[in-house]
């Protein structure tokens, strides 16, 4: 049995999956954000409870918004203060008397999609979350590829390419990122970036839903802006795909619900790839909010 924990700043979602990858149990509890021992106890109680109910010793995986340092296992996360700076995986493994897998929540999102029956045999799957920021992750042959420093797939902190700066024009917004740099992709081609750039170019603050509705209604300003944004996104994704060369790309986050992406991007991206390269298949994420807990559980799967 595979246990997954999708750990967020307000709630922890638990899921148990059998060997056919069917979900057989679900539970949600509040996240003890400030009390480390209580946090550990919440996880331990859920594991013990479902070990007894399901008559097994479940394999445990955690997905959360953070990065585990490669050299010492210390977890870095801003959303859950009580586990920040702790060796959570090792401590929890001793408490549960079993190995524990831990990954960034974006990697869990991708892993969940990569184990879908329709693409399970694909050699490489990239996931991109176009939400408040730009999250990303890579799965090769059914397993998360985290890289030497656990930051593989963190494409949101790549810099805007020169073609993108030219497209932004003579007065591009120089946006600072939470990582301390300027020009990070996530500030421009995320859902939030979509709104920021609209206001910068057209002098009016609107949320993404309203901009898209205006576009669908044929509003000239929205149509012009969406055409610009699609080209900007294609330029940036062309750079990313050249570096990573995925077979399949899965899009999640709020902006991924804009269906026009799936017509426009395959048409535009090839201009920004090497001549011998083909654009990967781009599809919308299938599992939505359940992807995090699925992916966390699937950290223990072996292809």
Binding residues for ATP, as ranges, are: 4-11, 133-140
- Alpha-carbon dihedral sign for residues 129, 207, 13, 178: positive
Binding residues: 4-11, 133-140, 157, 177, 179, 184
CA separation, residue 13 to residues 26, 30, 50, 289 (Å):
7, 9, 14, 10
Both tokens of residue 251? 């899009």
**DSSP label at residue 254:** G
Binding residues for Zn(2+): 157, 177, 179, 184
* Dist. CA 62–CA 1, nearest whole Å: 15
* Dist. CA 231–CA 219, nearest whole Å: 19
**Neighbouring C-beta atoms of residue 71, cutoff 10 Å:** 7
* Dist. CA 150–CA 74, nearest whole Å: 12
DSSP secondary structure, 45-110, as one string: HHHHHHHHHHTS--EEEEEESSEE-TTT--EE-SS-GGGTTS-HHHHHHHHHTS-EEEEEHHHHHH
Which parts of the chain are beta strand (E)? 2-7, 11-17, 23-30, 59-64, 67-68, 75-76, 100-104, 124-130, 134-140, 143-144, 248-252, 281-284
């Amino acid at each position: 049995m595979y246990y997954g924990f999708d750990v967020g700043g307000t709630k922890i979602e638990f899921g148990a999956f059998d060997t056919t990858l069917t979900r057989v149990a679900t539970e949600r509890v509040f996240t003890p954000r400030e009390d480390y021992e209580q946090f550990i106890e919440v996880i331990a109680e859920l594991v013990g409870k479902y070990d007894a109910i399901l008559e097994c010793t479940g394999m445990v995986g955690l997905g959360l918004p953070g990065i585990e340092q490669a050299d010492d296992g210390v977890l870095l996360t801003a959303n859950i203060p009580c586990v920040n700076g702790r060796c959570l995986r090792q401590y929890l493994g001793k408490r549960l008397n079993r190995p524990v897998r831990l990954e960034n929540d974006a990697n869990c999102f991708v892993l969940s999609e990569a184990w879908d029956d329709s693409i399970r045999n694909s050699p490489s799957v990239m996931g991109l979350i176009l939400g408040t920021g730009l999250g990303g992750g890579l799965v090769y042959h059914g397993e998360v590829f985290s890289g030497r420093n656990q930051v593989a797939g963190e494409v949101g902190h790549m810099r805007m390419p020169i073609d993108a700066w030219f497209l932004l024009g003579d007065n591009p917004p120089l946006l600072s990122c939470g990582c301390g740099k300027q020009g990070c992709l996530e500030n421009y081609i995320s859902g939030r970036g979509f709104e920021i750039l609209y206001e910068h170019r057209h002098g009016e603050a609107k949320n993404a839903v309203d901009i898209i509705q205006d576009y669908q209604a044929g509003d000239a300003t929205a149509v012009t802006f969406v055409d610009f944004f699609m080209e900007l996104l294609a330029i940036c994704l062309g750079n990313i795909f050249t570096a990573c060369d995925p077979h399949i790309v899965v899009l999640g986050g709020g902006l991924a619900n804009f269906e026009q992406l799936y017509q426009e991007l395959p048409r535009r991206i090839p201009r920004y790839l090497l001549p011998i390269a083909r654009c990967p298949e781009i599809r919308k994420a299938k599992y939505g909010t359940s992807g995090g807990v699925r992916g966390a559980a699937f950290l223990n799967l072996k292809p």
